[in-house]
Amino acid sequence: MTGRNRGFGLGLSLGLTVGSALLWGTAHLATHRHRTAFVLMSVQILLIAGILTVVTAFSTQLLSLAVQPGWMTGLALILAVIATAWTTVIIWSYMLVRPAGAGVAGRALTAGLTVALCALVLAPTAYAARLAYVSRDLVHHLFAGNLGGPIVAEDPWSGARRVNFLLVGADSAPNRPGVRTDSVTVASVDTATGATTLLGLPRNLEEVPMPPGPARARFPYGFTGDGVDSPGLLNEVFQYAENHPEVVPGVPDRQRGPALLKQTVGGVLGLPIRYYAMIDMHGFAEMIDAVGGVRITVEEPIVYGKYREGLLQAGTRRLSGEEALWYGRSRTDSDDYVRMGRQKCLINAVARQADPITLLNSFENLATATKRAISTDVPQDLLPALVELAQKVRDKPIRSLNFVPPLISTSNPDWRFIRHQTAEALSPPRGPANHARSAPTTTTSPQGPVTLDKTCG
């Protein structure tokens, strides 16, 4: 029995069509198809209940699934099935309650409303499918396959109490061949709690000890650079490895630099470094712009720009990508070591403000910028565990320890002292209150007290 048979007017027909889009089976009830209406309503209620249960009870797991291309593709297919069923119900309902004697204008209005309702249902599905495609492309572009053997879901960190990531800020310029790693930071993360300590090494460390093997054979007394025009600083190790395959035998192009730098920095700090992530400074600015800027407290005015054309005034404000870039790299009226402290503040601010809603809203632009800006050796299979660990990190204060003068001498570093302080900084809290320390912490050493600062609040 159709709307024409029942004598539905234009207004009632429009209302029943909209009602059926919101609650399946409404039009079927109006046309006395009670059994079909009951089935449709039951299916919709079960779908809504299932979605709400998944979203509320498994929110953390959903973030982990978002970095797994297979799951994203499966989700897009499920949404496509739901959208197809939903549009079918809308069109079916319209066919049942089409207005009788409404004329051409009335029929056009109800048909147009039906098409609009179907579009409202299909649009989110198309968007989800697009996000799934972008996510899959990003994961395949950035993250390698699992090169280290199978990862056990119950223990992705292989029983390690801490996992160490090398974070590198790379800068290149047309007048300077190669890449200089001007920002070198190790993020040491407690795998159980997420408590994180950032350990910063200055770019101008001299005579850095090389790891055992061909690199140490070439530089038995520490890295001295590549010829008379090279000062032999820490920030040259990456490019030296890329230019000299023999010091990292068996490692392909574009992986030699990260491999040697991980081993070198790990040896300096006395830590096993599993993974690295390198970000291009200019690409970093694009990433900040993609998420709408980053809010940070500028402690004192910062002059920026090659020709001092800009000034970041003191105060708490939202920085654009370009401003954030200069906040993290400017040395005008300051030095490398002040800049290192600001870089830790910037890392902390980005980590705190990277909430899921912001990331989702800007996901496509962020993915495009990320593909140009970041390289890493984190395997795809580790991403779900990494997402869960990142959630823990966000809930804990991030502390930092920068090995800069006067704590060390960059021209004649005390390597034993650096390793001792690293071990002290990462040791479990002492005393009855065994919890993450949010205030600055002082440790002792043969060279006096050293303070670990809470990174920018």
Q: Where are the domains of the chain?
A: 3-142, 162-454
> pLDDT digits over 89-108, tens only?
999 999 998 877 667 777 78
Q: Tell how strand 162-173 and strand 275-280 pair up.
A: parallel
pLDDT at 172: 61
Residue 365 has pLDDT above 70, yes or no: yes
Residue 445 has pLDDT above 70, yes or no: no
- The sheet with strand 176-190 has its strands ordered as 374-376, 275-280, 162-173, 176-190, 196-201, 398-402, 450-454, 441-443
Residue 155 has pLDDT above 80, yes or no: no
Which among 273, 249, 266 is positioned nearest to 211, based on CA atoms?
Answer: 266
pLDDT at 59: 65
For range 15-30, the mean pLDDT: 93
CA distance 328 to 318: 14
Residue 307 has pLDDT above 80, yes or no: no
Residue 79 has pLDDT above 90, yes or no: no
For range 176-180, the mean pLDDT: 68
Residue 26 has pLDDT above 90, yes or no: yes
93: tokens are 């309902």
For residue 446, name the pLDDT band (cuts at 50, 70, 90). very low
Q: Which of 3-12, 243-252, 336-345 has the lowest mean pLDDT?
A: 3-12
Single-letter amino acid, residue 411: S
Which among 222, 169, 279, 166 is positioned nearest to 410, based on CA atoms?
Answer: 222
Residue 146 has pLDDT above 90, yes or no: no
pLDDT at 137: 84
Residue 236 has pLDDT above 50, yes or no: yes
Q: Residue for token digits 């600015």?
A: 285
pLDDT at 308: 65
Residue 427 has pLDDT above 90, yes or no: no
For range 131-157, the mean pLDDT: 72
For range 115-135, the mean pLDDT: 87
> pLDDT digits over 184-220, tens only?
999 999 999 999 999 999 999 999 999 999 999 999 9
Which among 213, 224, 220 is positioned nearest to 256, based on CA atoms?
Answer: 213
The mean predicted confidence, pLDDT, of the chain is 82
pLDDT at 173: 53
For residue 333, name the pLDDT band (cuts at 50, 70, 90). low
For residue 86, name the pLDDT band (cuts at 50, 70, 90). very high
Single-letter amino acid, residue 145: G
Residue 42 has pLDDT above 70, yes or no: yes
pLDDT at 120: 92
CATH C-level class of 162-454: alpha beta
Which among 278, 236, 404 is positioned nearest to 336, based on CA atoms?
Answer: 404
Number of residues in the chain: 457
For residue 179, name the pLDDT band (cuts at 50, 70, 90). confident
Which among 258, 285, 234 is positioned nearest to 376, based on CA atoms?
Answer: 258
Q: Which of 55-64, 367-376, 448-457 has the lowest mean pLDDT?
A: 448-457
CA distance 148 to 164: 16
CA distance 156 to 149: 11
**Tally of CA atoms within 13 A in the half-sphere of 289 that contains its CB:** 14
| Residue 410 and residue 202 in contact, taking contact as beta carbons nearer than 8 Å | yes
To 5 degrees, how large is the angle CA 121–CA 89–CA 14? 80
How many Cβ atoms are within 10 Å of 113's Cβ, its own excluded?
17
Residue 66 has pLDDT above 70, yes or no: no
